[in-house]
Amino acid sequence: MEIGRENKFALAAILVLPVFASVYYALAMPVSFDEAWTFLNFTQKGFAESVTHYPAPNNHVLHSLVTNVTYYIPFLSDLMKLRLPSIFISLASLLLLYRFVSKHFDIKTALVVVGVSSVFFLNIYYSYMSRGYSLVSLCFIAALYSAFNIVKADNEKRNWMYFSAFSIIGFFTMPSFLYPFITLNFFILVSRHKNLRLQVISTAITGICVLLLYLPIICHDGIMAIIHNRYVTPIGFAATATGLFPYFGNAITEITGIHWAIIVLLLIVGVGFLYKSKEKLLLSFALIMILSPVILLLVHRLLPFSRVFNYYSVVFILLIVLPYRSLLQKTGLKAIIVLILLLQGLFVFNFNSKIEAYEDKDLAINITASKVIPKIIGDYRYLFNFVLLESNLEFELVSKGYKNYSIKSVGIPNMSTDTISGYDFIIINTEFDQTKNSKVFYATPYYNIYKKSQGN
């Protein structure tokens, strides 16, 4: 598909702010706990560790492998080496999304979909954060593109090949790609049930390839490390069912950055228009995408982190915008660009106003940590008790070249620093801190830091 000069300019114009935000926050935001943990456990340890070890879902395997490569890029900080893949993958996702929507719908719709989805809260966040979610988004868009190619009477083997290939990449990034994979397969099945033979072959090839890719981990840690770790342990049907409404409300708000009720209202209106216009393919797509998370979670009996469904940022904006395609065609391109830029400005402002609180919501391990660490960093002896600050601190120690530090982490309820010696800094979870006499060096709502005199 050839893109005219005017449309290229329009696409470039709406990408400026998202790309700028991605690079700016990559440079401005301190390392997060998950990034630090990935760096310490996989990035600096090399390929073998990344493909054989799965101590927790923090190992987004393919992403870890990519950071094993970018770790050796010269002249960049360790943090930028970690974040660089997400920046480029995020940009590639937006370009692919534009190509998908412009091919199957039209260019103006594509501009709106790309322009708005790019500045949803979690899309900005994972456009720089060194995690695998940008890869998952890219794979979902590619698989969705292939699915539409398949169902729109283009049942060529190459489209099935692309669908399988990007599904395999998505699975190798994280196992939770199972959710979009099942959803898109059901969409294909409902829309083009005559494809069943090729669909079965595609699914079998995907499953075999994924099994082979995870085989080193299965041999090293066992398959239960992947499918039954504590983060994916079922909580029961009743608990899942009663928690679905607040879960999806919080998830929609977190993904988009605006109140869930606004998104739900826009989705209801959009689906209503699709029903009224009798666009059967799009209506079936909408209903399948809306209902599948509910069904999948009830079957799985689990309420995962909201970010697992971040690929729905594309689904939300598609279902909201598609019913207004005819109106967009009557609107001038310049007016559409101006509207997109205004919306982008509002979303980026919203992100900027919320990101510090969002980063510090879990036990003060990111923003607060970045303020604490400069006060305690050095070749010191550290003792941690039930505190996650450890990974962020060690990342900074390694990045800044400290060699002679020591870190010990314990889990001892009711610890007191009054009787502890042999450490320069002792960091204790406030819940377990029984210290009476020692003075707190630095306090947060979650942990206290004590500075012991040298030689104690």
DSSP string, 328-369: HHTS-HHHHHHHHHHHHHHHHHHHHHHHHHHHTTTTT-SHHH
* Element of type H or E holding 131: none
Cβ atoms 197, 160 nearer than 8 A: no
Q: How confident is the model at residue 106 (pLDDT cuts 50, 70, 90)?
A: very high
Q: Which of 162-166, 385-389, 434-438 has the highest mean pLDDT?
A: 162-166
**CA-CA distance, 289 to 281, in Å (whole number)?**
12
Q: Are strands 425-429 and 442-443 parallel, antiparallel or unpaired?
A: unpaired
Cβ atoms 149, 345 nearer than 8 A: no
What's the rounded mean pLDDT across residues 85-96? 97
First to last CA, the chain: 71
Q: How confident is the model at residue 318 (pLDDT cuts 50, 70, 90)?
A: very high
Contacts of 105 (CB under 8 A, 6+ apart): 322, 325
Q: Which of 139-148, 353-362, 405-414 has the highest mean pLDDT?
A: 139-148
Q: How many CB atoms lie within 10 A of CB 321?
A: 22
What interhelical angle do 333-359 and 107-117 show, nearest 10?
Answer: 20
**CA-CA distance, 183 to 314, in Å (whole number)?**
14
Nearest CA-CA partner of 44 in 360, 455, 412, 398:
398
- Reply yes or no on whether the pLDDT at 395 is more than 80: yes
Structure tokens at 322: 């598609």
Nearest CA-CA partner of 127 in 94, 90, 95, 98:
90
pLDDT at 455: 47
Structure tokens at 27: 């440079």
Cβ atoms 382, 424 nearer than 8 A: yes
Average model confidence (pLDDT) across the chain: 93
Give percent of the chain with pLDDT exceeding 90. Answer: 84
Q: How confident is the model at residue 428 (pLDDT cuts 50, 70, 90)?
A: very high
Nearest CA-CA partner of 321 in 157, 159, 110, 137:
110
Amino acid at 243: G
Chain centre distance of CA 186: 24
**CA-CA distance, 242 to 364, in Å (whole number)?**
30
- Reply yes or no on whether the pLDDT at 103 is more than 90: yes
- Reply yes or no on whether the pLDDT at 15 is more than 60: yes
pLDDT at 154: 67
- Reply yes or no on whether the pLDDT at 2 is more than 70: no
pTM score: 0.94
- pLDDT tens digits, 242-288: 999 999 999 999 999 999 999 999 999 999 999 998 889 999 999 99
Q: How many CB atoms lie within 10 A of CB 281?
A: 16
Structure tokens at 216: 């080193």
Cβ atoms 423, 382 nearer than 8 A: yes
Q: How confident is the model at residue 454 (pLDDT cuts 50, 70, 90)?
A: low
- pLDDT tens digits, 152-207: 876 688 899 999 999 999 999 999 999 999 999 999 999 887 778 899 999 999 99
